[in-house]
Amino acid sequence: MKLPIYLDYAATTPISPKSAKAICDTLSDPALLGNPSSSTHMYGWKAQEAVHAARARVASLFNAKARDVIFTSGATEANNLAIRGVCQGLSSPHIITSSVEHKAVLETCQHMARNGAELTILEPDENGIVTPESVASAIKGNTVLVSLMHVNNEVGSFNDIDAIGELISGINPNIVFHVDAAQSAGKVDIDIKSLAKIDIITFSAHKFYGPKGIGGLILSRFARKKVSSISFGGVQENSLRPGTLATHQIVGMGEAAAECKEKMSLDREHVLLLRQTLFNTLNECGVAFNTNVNQNLAYPGIVNMNIFGIEPDELMLQWSQVAVSSGSACNSQTKSDSYVLQSIRNGKDKNPSSADVRISFGRYTTREDVTEAVHHLTAALSAVSC
């Protein structure tokens, strides 16, 4: 059975062979079978050494210190820890976020609002970007947290996290600035030492060629004083995330992080080439782009487009030779229009005889994959119009 062409990297990237090998080697090494928290024998020491080495490699991806990395099961848990950990126990804390955030952020903020927090949800501009000025104008005396993504998971738009952080710091440096970097970590250079202010960064390994089920946060020294644990049962990860560490997954993420740092420039050049190939071959397909085609405004590995003359379900049926998404992976099972695209369109629904499709690609995608995918799209549209 021939597998479809995989163009859904924003949902999850393929795991790199080096990361997969590191995981298998860790699982099969008898010396690493111990619990990393066991400090009374060699098995625990060896596992702990492997975790420490991987922690340093993950930190290096962000030019952070290893001690600032806290491991979680992924970005969803990390986002929950960041938002709930900052706000819990405070009286009427004010949170600022946006309407185009991932549900792991939006729903967590809404949960806090149901439990006494004040919540401001900003609207993006027509490119899906939250402007620094809109953030600054929303800050109040009781604002404790600003939570925004770096790269949007549906349209790829960049938020200027450096400018936003600088404005926050200038207005009130006691506000925690949380950046959801799930779609940018490992793909875009994030040097936290050169940025004006980022207090918390959250990420998932499976978005940058590592394994599923592992991710984490990077906390500034300031944020360490602001975040409280939301789960209990141990002292692991400075008591912020108790539970036995998954040595093999952490090692796999460390390997993926090191590889991404080494290949970041080449990976970016590759996705730029793939995006241009996509644009060049889409001329006759009758599409409009939800993603801004200016590479400075959007990450080139994510292209969201609106295809005329076909409904989403029909497109997915006719275009089955290609694995793409009609929304984010977390929302693809729902039939309603994407809330992200509705926000960008100022609440207006799309034409019912059109389909919104997210194409996302990366390191292992070839130009032939892209041109063949468009060939299948052309055939699908012709089949529907016959």
Q: In this predicted structure, what is the pLDDT of residue 287? A: 87
Residues 156 and 113 in one domain: yes
Q: In this predicted structure, what is the pLDDT of residue 297? A: 87
Residues 87 and 182 in one domain: yes
The residues carrying an active-site annotation are: 330
- Number of structural domains the chain divides into: 2
Residues 186 and 248 in one domain: yes
Contacts for 50-55: CB closer than 8 Å, 24+ residues apart? 50/26, 50/247, 50/250, 50/251, 51/245, 51/247, 51/250, 51/251, 53/251, 53/254, 54/250, 54/251, 54/253, 54/254, 54/255, 55/250, 55/254
pTM of the model as a whole: 0.94
Residues 238 and 282 in one domain: no
Domain span including residue 110: 17-258
Single residue among 258, 285, 320 that ends a domain in this structure: 258
Query: Which tens digits make up the pLDDT trace of 176-223?
Result: 999 999 999 999 999 999 998 999 999 999 999 999 999 999 999 999
Q: Which residues of the chain have pLDDT under 50?
A: 328-329, 332-334
Residues 44 and 130 in one domain: yes
Q: In this predicted structure, what is the pLDDT of residue 336? A: 57
Single residue among 241, 258, 275 that ends a domain in this structure: 258
> Taking every pair of C-alpha atoms in the chain, what is the biggest distance, in angstroms?
72
Query: Which tens digits make up the pLDDT trace of 239-276?
Result: 999 999 999 999 999 999 999 999 999 999 999 999 99
